Amino acid sequence: MKDLTKYRNIGIFAHVDAGKTTTTERILKLTGKIHKIGEVHDGASTMDFMDQEAERGITIQSAATTCFWRGHQFNVIDTPGHVDFTIEVYRSLKVLDGGVGVFCASGGVEPQSETNWRYADDSGVARVIYVNKMDRIGANFYKVVDQVKSILGAKPLVMVLPIGEETAFSGVVDLLTRQAYTWDDSGKPENFTIGEIPADMLDKVEQYRAELIESAVEQEDDAMEKYLEGEEPDLDTIKRCIRKGAIKLAFFPTYCGSSFKNKGIQNVLDAVVDYLPNPTDVKPQPEVDLEGNPTGEFAIVDASKPFRGLAFKIMDDKYGALTFTRIYSGVIKKGMTVLNTFTGKTERISRMVEMHADDRIEIDSAQAGDIVALVGMKNVQTGHTLCDENHPATLEPMVFPDPVISIAVAPKDKANAEKLGTAIGKMVQEDPSFRVETDEETNEMILKGMGELHLDIKIDILKRTHKVEVTVGAPQVAYRETITKAVSDSYTHKKQSGGSGQYAKIDYTIEPLEAGSGFVFEASVVGGNVPKEFIPAVEKGFKTSIHKGPLAGYPCLDFKVTLKDGGFHAVDSSSIAFEIAAKAAYRQTMQKCAPQVLEPIMKIDVFTPDAQVGDVIGDLNRRRGMIKEQMTTHGGVRVKADAPLSAMFGYIGDLRTMTSGRGQFSMEFSHYAPCPKNVAEEVIAKAKEKEEALRAGK
């Protein structure tokens, strides 16, 4: 069995452009995993292996790799920074024990840093802070430390101080050992010297060192007592205290450096070993029943316990589907059969691999604490639990946010139509924040995602990876129609053209109902003028007609038809005749009932920083939104409103522009409401154009 204390499952996360992927490349080079460094700006980094990542210079999907440092195994996940891909950060943090939060020394704590930090807090993940790009113009380590305190509400524990800043940055001073690490300009990480602290930094080093030791000894009463009596604890005691505080999230050990110039990375790797938890240090994963309620049991990280694993990512590549799985307890071996508690089905483990970005190393077994990829699993999806079939259990599942933007796509021809379904199926499995549905009215395929860039990338993957050509359009709003006036009317259907004829007469009233009532039919015929056997046909005629309203052809809601009287012919009357009469009566009378167009109103929940509340509310008012509630929360304000769906397309982009990327929102259907006159006229005109175009096409 492997020694779990030598394991570190860590993620690297940050805002776009803080240097996460560059930092990961340097870690791989230092640990001997790669021999040539690939640069993000050249589109050649190891971890950004998708075409779209290389071209755009951003990370889109989290990539996993394994490397070693000081006899410890690191399972490293490099996550995306762009707000549209936070789902990748969330699901990675869910299965990690520790993380390295990378901040840009000149940009500081940026909007996406806040989101990622919040996710890490929610997941209880211990972190080391690394302030990168110290060689950049405008770099200021102390400013970033202050921002971590003020914006994130976190306590950074400063472990090193920079020697110089911007172009003069040459190394760091280790506060614990009082040693200066200085790199030369060769760009080689191993070319550093350990020497004396620069004279002009002595006072600052002592000041920050005292703060560091005071914060550390608070974690142990014995160490605290000795320190208050004037005795400084030894180095091992201080490190032990820092480790305790870091795992409890009392503070976050903070480092700085320049990944691009290969300065300061070793200190961060040492910190991962010294201060971040191993799999046995973190709280065991809670188990739940099939309804998602806690059972009180836990998956204890122990190789001798029954097998428990959580599938946290599905990736489809040229060799087949890969199911990334974090093993929480027990052992998994090639050839073993495991139970998927979500589907209730068993699957055989035919192949298992250890991933290094898009390369793979075949392995025969893995144990608690490992992160591996299982090849060829058929029915496993993100968040499913895999377990020992003789000891079933379900781990706490992942909860994914609902998509906020959608577009319509259609295949360019029949050949692409066949490929589209398969490709979309694979993409939905890979990404739980990407959803697909078919609009039953327009028959369009609607793709839903977390933002415009998210969907833009999906269309690109469809075209390049899956070779499917599609046309992309805006989705159509599902309008409805209703009536506002009651009308009593009569209709007679007569047809005589040789053979048996058709005859049906109906007298009826059509009247509006309250919103949400739907369609109601009632018969109050007396005296048998409409025989009972024909009444269901009248109801059917009206019911099948409601799918096309009188104004723009949208389904008609909330009205009642009462059949009051009528007439029949002993020979020529039939169910068909009465059904035809009802359909014609619907077309004749609905026009007279003062019909109106209804539009879907959405329930909007917007989070915005305090400074932009006015802008956000003003923008919602311009979109015909009605503000319902404002709530002050940690770091900002939540605005709840109702707004028409037609005015909300493109909102996520505008919101992020208004709030410098900090704003977030969710949207769900609330109810239908009458359209303003100008909007209704536009909807009716478009419907007529579409109908004429269809007629011309025929």
Q: Residue 466, Cβ neighbours under 10 Å: how many? A: 16
Distance between the two ends of the chain, CA-based, in angstroms? 72
Residues 563-572: tens digit of each pLDDT: 999 999 888 8
- pLDDT band for 40, please (50, 70, 90 cuts): very low
Instruction: Work out whether strand 519-523 and strand 502-512 pair parallel, antiparallel, or are unpaired.
Output: unpaired
Same domain, yes or no: 522 and 637 = no
Cβ pair 443, 378 in contact under 8 A? no
Q: What is the mean pLDDT of residues 56-74?
A: 66
Report the CATH number that the domain containing residue 257 is assigned in CATH: 3.40.50.300
Q: Which residue has the tokens 């505008």?
A: 654
**Shared-domain flag, residues 586 and 605:** no
How high is the pLDDT of residue 59? 35
Residue 694 lies in a domain: no
Mean pLDDT of 184-191: 88
Residue 69 shares a structural domain with residue 155: yes
Residue 225 lies in a domain: no
pLDDT band at 561 (very low <50, low <70, confident <90, very high): very high
Positive or negative, the CA dihedral 20, 192, 242, 212 is negative
Q: 600 versus 218: which is more confidently predicted? A: 218
- Answer whether residue 65 is part of any domain: yes
Which residue type sits at 327?
A: I
Mark whether 512 and 606 lie in a shared domain. no
- Amino acid 128 reads V
Say which residue the tokens 């169910």 belong to.
575
CB 585 within 8 A of CB 612: no
Q: Mind listing the pLDDT tens digit for each residue in 301-334? A: 888 999 999 888 777 666 667 888 999 999 999 9
**Average pLDDT of the segment spanning 249-256:** 97
pLDDT tens per residue, range 622-670: 999 999 989 886 667 889 899 998 888 878 889 988 998 888 777 777 8
When mean pLDDT is compared across 10-19, 31-40, 260-269, 366-375, the lowest value belongs to: 31-40
Using a pLDDT cut of 70, give the percent of the chain over it.
87
Looking at per-residue confidence, does 479 or 690 come out higher? 479
Query: Residue 53 pLDDT > 60, yes or no?
Result: no
pLDDT tier at 112 (50, 70, 90 boundaries)?
low
How far is the C-alpha of 257 from the C-alpha of 262, rounded, in Å?
8
**Whether pLDDT at 36 is above 50:** no
Q: Are residues 390 and 528 in the same domain?
A: no
Q: How confident is the model at residue 676 (pLDDT cuts 50, 70, 90)?
A: very high
pLDDT digits (tens, 9 = 90+) for 95-109: 889 999 999 998 888
224 within domain boundaries: no
For the segment 508-540, what is each residue's pLDDT rounded down to a tens digit?
999 999 988 889 999 998 888 899 999 999 999
- 77: pLDDT strictly greater than 70: yes
**What's the CATH code of the domain at 658?**
3.30.70.240
261 and 377 in a common domain: no
User: Would you say residue 104 lies in a domain?
Assistant: yes
Q: What is the C-alpha separation between 631 and 641, in angstroms, rounded?
A: 12
- Short-list 347, 353, 354, 357, CA closest to 375: 353
| Mean pLDDT over each residue of the chain, to the nearest integer | 85
| CB 641 within 8 Å of CB 627 | yes
Same domain, 156 and 9: yes
**What is the C-alpha separation between 118 and 124, in angstroms, rounded?**
10
Cα separation, 666 vs 400, whole angstroms = 12
Q: List CB contacts of 186: < 8 A, sequence separation 6 or more.
A: none
Phi/psi region, residue 101 (left: phi>0; alpha: psi -120 to 50; beta: rest), is beta
The token pair that represents 679 in the structure block: 């909007």
Q: Could you list the residue range(s) of the whole structural domain that residue 442 is in?
A: 411-427+434-473
47 and 113 co-located in one domain? yes
Distances (CA, A) of 189 to 161, 165, 172, 259, 263: 18, 18, 13, 9, 6
Summarize the confidence of residues 387-397 as an average pLDDT: 87
Q: Which pairs from 302-305 meet CB under 8 Å and 24+ separation?
A: 302/329, 302/330, 302/368, 303/1, 303/2, 303/4, 303/329, 303/330, 303/331, 303/367, 303/368, 304/330, 305/329, 305/330, 305/368
Q: Which two tokens stand for residue 374?
A: 């299982």
For the chain, the residue count is: 698
> Average pLDDT in the 573-591 region?
94
R_g of the chain computed on alpha carbons: 33
Does residue 621 share a domain with residue 571? no
Using alpha carbons, select from 432, 283, 315, 290 the residue that is nearest to residue 62: 315
CB burial of residue 467 (10 Å; 0-12, 13-18, 19+): exposed
CATH of the domain at 419: 3.30.70.870
Establish if 139 belongs to a structural domain: yes
d(CA 637, CA 621): 17
**Predicted local confidence at residue 443, as pLDDT:** 62
Q: Same domain for 456 and 320?
A: no
pLDDT computed for residue 55 by the predictor: 43
Mean pLDDT calculated for residue range 447-457: 74
Question: Taking Cα atoms as reference points, which of 205, 145, 211, 215 lies closest to residue 177?
Answer: 205
Element (H, E) at 213: helix 202-217
Q: Among 169-178, 312-321, 371-380, 428-437, name the one with the lowest average pLDDT.
A: 312-321
Same domain assignment for residues 367 and 506 = no
State the total domains in the chain.
Answer: 5
pLDDT one-digit tens code per residue, 157-171: 999 999 999 999 999
Answer yes or no: is 284 within a domain: no
Q: Looking at the predicted structure, is the pLDDT value of residue 694 above 70?
A: no
Least confident segment among 229-238, 257-266, 349-358: 349-358
How remote is the C-alpha of 467 from its chain's centroid? Answer: 25
Is 455 domain-assigned? yes
Same domain, 19 and 161: yes
Q: What is the dihedral of CA 443, 447, 453, 458, to 10 degrees?
A: -100
Band of residue 116 on the pLDDT scale cut at 50, 70, 90: confident
Of the segments 9-23, 292-306, 311-325, 669-683, which one has the largest average pLDDT value?
669-683
In this prediction, residue 496 carries a pLDDT of 74
**Phi-psi region at 54: left, alpha or beta (left = phi > 0; alpha = psi -120 to 50):** alpha
CA distance 479 to 486: 22
**Considering 556, 573, 593, which residue would you say is the last residue of a domain?**
593
Which SS3 state, helix, strand or coil, does residue 170 take?
coil
